[in-house]
């Protein structure tokens, strides 16, 4: 963007005109927008700091209290692992995996509906997009609260919560992958008189397959992390054990649970990286 300052405006007509221009990075309007953003950020911060209710004593001795907690947690008592933690850990992994599989069962039809190239009806596209956005805008923990209210406490609620939160994520990415496919193979199949099912299976599927596995692994990794906290609202898994340990002040047991979660998250990440390198 260029702005032309007043005093040199007279020089504009000569051959040196381009040299006399004053070059600025932003137009006045852009500058105003930037200042507004910064001002809004500062105002929001000042308001937050002035009106938030923090007890100063809590703030000052926070480091001390944290250190105290860590001392009480150390060393973790691994004797709890075989009979209290292990089963819950396996349950967490089952919840994450089953939830991911279930979410794909529901997300694939929605992605087919949401993709413009597969479903040429704008109304259906919009409807599917709306369902996907609704699924994404509700947090996993809220879905878990809802399904605990519906199914009662337990792993079933956790599986449903993981599945319903994942639908939006998986469906959105799959629909985008479908929209980006090349039309050549599809048109060739259509020209040969292939029915709709064959067009999808042999025209679209091979093109979105890498994206599909990538999305599945990525979401499974996220779900393993998220299913560890579902137990805090009663939706099964290792979170239940953590919650109990914390409520009974069994710090060494809580530390064992945290170590187990830590280990599973890292193992899942390594697994996903390995499989992705091999598949894609």
Partner 1 sequence: MSGAEAARRAFAPNWQGRAALAALAIYSVYAASQLDIGLERIWHGFSEAGAFLGRMVPPNFTRWQLLLDGMLESLQIAFISSAVGIVLSLPIALLAARNLMPWWVSAPARAFIGFCRSLHYVIVAILFVKAIGFGVLAGICALVVASIGFISKLFAEAIEEISPKQVEAVRATGAGFAAVLLYGVLPQVASRFVGFCIYQIDSNLRNSTMVGIVGAGGIGGTLFAAFKRFDYDFVAAILLVIIALIFAAELVATRVRAALR
Q: Which residues bind partner 1 (CB under 8 A)?
A: 30, 33-34, 36-37, 44-45, 47-49, 51-55, 58-59, 61-62, 65-66, 68-69, 90-91, 94-95, 97-98, 101, 137-139, 141-142, 145-151, 154-156, 159-160, 202, 225-226, 228-229, 232-233, 236, 242, 246, 258, 261-262, 265-266
What are the φ and ψ backbone dihedral angles of 2, each rounded to 5 degrees? -115, 145
Q: How far is the CB of 36 from partner 1 (least distance, A)?
A: 7
Beta strands at 22-23 and 2-3: parallel, antiparallel or unpaired? antiparallel
**Which lies closer to partner 1 via its Cβ, residue 124 or residue 246?**
246
Which is nearer to partner 1, 20 or 154 (by Cβ)? 154
State the angle between helix axes of 86-114 and 238-247 in degrees (0 to 180), rounded to the nearest 10.
Answer: 130
CB nearer to partner 1: give 77 or 243.
243
- Shortest distance in whole angstroms from residue 178 CB to partner 1: 19
DSSP 92-158: HHHHHHHHHHHHHHHHHHHHHHH-TTT---HHHHHHHHHHHHHHHHS-HHHHHHHHHHHH-SSHHHH
Instruction: State in angstroms the smallest separation of the CB of 37 from partner 1.
Output: 5
Tokens of 166: 């994942």
CB of 11 to partner 1, least distance (A): 32
What region does 209 belong to: left with phi over 0, alpha with psi -120 to 50, or beta? Answer: alpha
First to last CA, the chain: 43
Residue 104's CB: how many other CB atoms inside 10 A? 20
Question: Which of residues 183 and 198 has its CB atom nearest to partner 1 in the complex?
Answer: 198
Closer residue to partner 1 in complex, CB, 173/233: 233
Q: What is the smallest separation between the CB atom of 16 and partner 1, expressed in angstroms?
A: 30
């Amino acid at each position: 963007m260029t702005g032309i300052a007043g005093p040199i405006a007279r020089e504009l007509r000569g051959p040196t005109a381009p040299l006399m221009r004053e070059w600025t990075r932003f137009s006045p309007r852009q500058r105003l927008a930037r200042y507004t953003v910064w001002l809004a950020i500062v105002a929001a911060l000042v308001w937050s700091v002035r009106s938030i209710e923090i007890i100063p004593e809590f703030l000052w001795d926070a480091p001390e209290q944290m250190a105290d907690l860590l001392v009480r947690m150390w060393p973790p008592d691994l004797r709890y692992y075989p009979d209290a933690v292990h089963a819950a850990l396996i349950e967490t992994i089952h919840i994450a995996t089953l939830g991911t599989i279930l979410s794909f069962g529901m997300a694939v039809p929605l992605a087919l509906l949401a993709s413009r190239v597969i479903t040429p009806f704008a109304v259906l596209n919009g409807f599917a997009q709306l369902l996907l956005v609704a699924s994404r805008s509700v947090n996993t923990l809220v879905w878990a609260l809802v399904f605990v209210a519906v199914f009662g406490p337990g792993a079933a609620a956790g599986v449903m919560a993981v599945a319903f939160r994942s639908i939006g994520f998986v469906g959105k990415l799959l629909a985008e992958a479908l929209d980006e496919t090349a039309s050549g193979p599809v048109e060739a199949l259509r020209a040969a008189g292939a029915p709709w099912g064959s067009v999808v299976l042999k025209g679209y599927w091979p093109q979105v397959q890498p994206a599909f596995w990538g999305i599945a692994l990525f979401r499974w990794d996220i779900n393993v992390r998220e299913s560890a906290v579902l137990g805090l609202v009663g939706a099964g898994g290792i979170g239940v054990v953590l919650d109990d340990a914390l409520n009974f002040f069994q710090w060494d047991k809580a530390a064992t649970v945290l170590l187990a979660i830590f280990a599973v998250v890292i193992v899942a990440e390594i697994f996903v990286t390995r499989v992705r390198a091999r598949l894609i």
